[in-house]
Structure 1
Amino acid sequence: MNLGWKLGAVVAGWAPEGLLDTYEAERRPLGAWVLDRTRAQTGVLRGDAKSAAIREVVADLLSTREGATYAVRKISGVTQRIDLPGGHPLTGRPVPDLRLRDGSRLADHGHGGGFLLLDRTPDRGFARAAAAWTGRVGSVRDDHATPTGVSVRPDGVVAWAADTADSTTATGLEAALRRWAGSPSPAPEHESAA
């Protein structure tokens, strides 16, 4: 998914400079983690006495609620984080399971394949800031709560998030959109009255 949406952006002609270069930086650390986990699993499955002892320890840990929860969270990828710019704890993580007032979840609104913006500002300030990326960024309105705003990339990774609504956070949103969604869409040309 990471590479797919980036290639799609290049083909569509709106990819910002260097977008494809972000693929390796984002995926290599996760790939190395998967490789290390695979090596560890291979080591545990060997038939020697040392591997058998490690298997017993792992089985003992997995028999506890905490150990099983830890393993499932690691294997599922929900604890994974891509190192992206921004200081919010959600940035770089998979889209959170945020339940909205209408009973839907934020991820339910992301099936269109584009960028998704959750705007919980009282004046729809974040949606207005993202309007310049018409056709690439869809927005979802919800009641005021935290996080106040969340921008999700097409691959389901949070590109930007904020707990407040002020000029600094709006500027951060616009910077994230430029970084990931390219330049704003050109304003539609209006026919002049003759």
Structure 2
Amino acid sequence: MPSHRPRRLVAALVACSAALLLAACAPTVALNPAADANDPRCADVIVHLPDTVADKTKRETNAQATGAWGDPAVVLLRCGVAPIGPTAKPCITVNGIDWVLENDPASPSLRYITFGRIPATEVVIAHGKNGVTDAAVLPALADAIGAIPQQKQQKCLDTSDVTSPTGTPTAAPPATSTPTPTPTPTN
């Protein structure tokens, strides 16, 4: 009686090979690296990125110091973007990380940049149908972003944190170029 063991083994190997090929076929997310993507602090961020963000699985990217989650990608991250200076744009602190919202909050994708960290990190979050919320994304990235230390004296401020002068400055009287006449004595 012939054994069916070799056929079963071959069938199992073919099935496993097909599963591995299909898993490896997930497309890589194409991103452009930021200008300072080669900064060693970005490497610290990237190695600490979570495997999931907002219940979306991390994807492979084709650029240094980047990350992406979801299929299609709904969260994109680039470390090494230029830091931003003081701004009147909305700034929020989430788990110790200051983020500045760079675009209109009603946009279908929101772009946040870290504030007070050099190099800065950019995160783009897709909202709407099949998108995710900021509240599900920003806290998940805090540990990784925290690998770049916060610069002293660079924190998000609320308008109530900013002091204004108590008095209104007054202009000094203008200097005159005509001499003041001196009184002459009378007899």
TM-score by length of 1: 0.31
Select the structure that is richer in strand: 2
Larger radius of gyration: 2
Select the structure that is richer in helix: 1
TM-score by length of 2: 0.32
